[in-house]
Structure 1
Amino acid sequence: MAELIVTTFLSLDGVYQGPGGVEEDPSGGFDQGGWVTPFYEDDMAAYAAEWLGQAGSLLIGRRTYDIFVQYWPKATDQDDPVAVAMNTLPKYVVSRTLPGSDWSGVSVVDGDVVEFVRELKARPGGEIQVHGSGDLLQTLIAHDLVDEYRLWLYPVVLGQGRKLFPEGVAPKSFEHVETRRTSSGANVLVLRPAGKPRHDTFRLVTE
């Protein structure tokens, strides 16, 4: 079975909205877009290339598709492993309004995404990777379909914007797999779901 792997950028206050550009996603009055771009450097590119090399397919939401399709089909450098992966991997775009796409490898998922992902995970192959796609990701999280999280945590507080784990999300705990750090100050936490949180109380230890 294939595993579903999530990669997303987060601020210290848990916001995922508009990381890549000032005008990328101003919905809801968000005016803090482009907060990840100043941190881009070689470590980030190397980690992205390494992990994309493990992908068998990409699963993305419509908003993320609209961002990707403006850039990646024009990135034709065959020595760029990220561009090659983006342009050659099968890409499943979750949308009820996208009529089709000229971008190579794109299939539109316009039905029950939860059932589709369950069927996709049952097939053999490499990782099913979700990049960005916050609204889609929250649906996948709610149905316990995520096998691993690669959370890029950046040293910024935005004070507004959509959060990956909003108020009211079901309580969850995670197993730590790995932590990586980039030279620009981002920490990448690799986590796997580990059921519900455990609770206890600190006790005074006396001799």
Structure 2
Amino acid sequence: MSRNVTAHLFSSLNGVSESPHLFQFDAFGEEEGRRMAESLAPVSDVVIGRKLWQEWRDYWTSDAGSGDGFGDFINPVRKHVVSATLDGELDWNSTLVDGDPIPYVADLKAGEGGDIAVAGGVETVRSLFLGGVVDVLTLTMHPAVTGAGRRLFDESVPLTRLELVDSGTSPLGNVFLTYRLKGAA
């Protein structure tokens, strides 16, 4: 039985997914929290890029991150860190992804366990989604326009057809859009 691989990013209306705390701070409520909790409930492994892994490790293992529902999830879950610069043993229940992350995640997907969430960063989500190992990608589109920042689908991405598999709207005006690569069902 194959495990599901999902990715979820927050996005501005103009497609910026980098540093969502700069545009989502006033638009994350009960519906957003409920959807996030539901998506994380079956997850036993998280694939994460080095920068985000370092930021989260520093925050979620500190006093600032204690007592938070997400901290209760992210601290014990198995983390697989995509990095070309880290080496050796990692702490925080983490394993370094050795080499190309696409076959690594494909092997992880074929193994035992719960679902796999790809948490970021932008390049990690982009490469794994376009590489066909992410089953579905959910974007929470916030009603904000940002000036600058990295976009999930920037000018480096060739024409790629997606299929909308789910959508919804929150009372705060966020739109939830879940896609898969067209023809990947």
Please say whether Structure 1 and Structure 2 have the same fold, judged by a TM-score greater than 0.5. Answer: yes
Distance in 1, Cα, partners of 2:26 & 2:58: 20
Match of 1:54 in 2: 42
> Which letter maps to 1:3?
N
Q: Is contact 2:140-2:175 (8 Å) kept? A: yes
Match of 2:91 in 1: 102
> Which letter maps to 1:114?
I
Q: Is contact 1:142-1:170 (8 Å) kept? A: no
Match of 1:152 in 2: 140
Q: CA deviation at 1:73?
A: 2.1
Distance in 2, Cα, partners of 1:101 & 1:183: 40
Distance in 2, Cα, partners of 1:8 & 1:165: 12
- The structure with the larger Rg is 1
Structure 1 unmatched runs, 5+: 21-33, 197-207
Q: Is contact 1:172-1:195 (8 Å) kept? A: no
Q: Is contact 2:47-2:120 (8 Å) kept? A: no
Q: Which moved more, 1:3-12 or 1:42-51?
A: 42-51
Structure 2 unmatched runs, 5+: none
Q: CA deviation at 1:125?
A: 2.5
Match of 2:8 in 1: 7
Match of 1:71 in 2: 59
- Residue 110 of structure 2 is aligned to residue 122 of structure 1: yes
> Which letter maps to 2:109?
K
Q: Percent identity?
A: 31
- Residue 27 of structure 2 is aligned to residue 44 of structure 1: no
Match of 1:17 in 2: 18
Say which of 172, 181, 184 aligns to 1:193.
Answer: 181
Distance in 1, Cα, partners of 2:14 & 2:56: 25
Distance in 1, Cα, partners of 2:71 & 2:153: 30
TM-score using structure 2 length: 0.87
Distance in 1, Cα, partners of 2:86 & 2:170: 36
Q: How many corresponding residue pairs?
A: 180
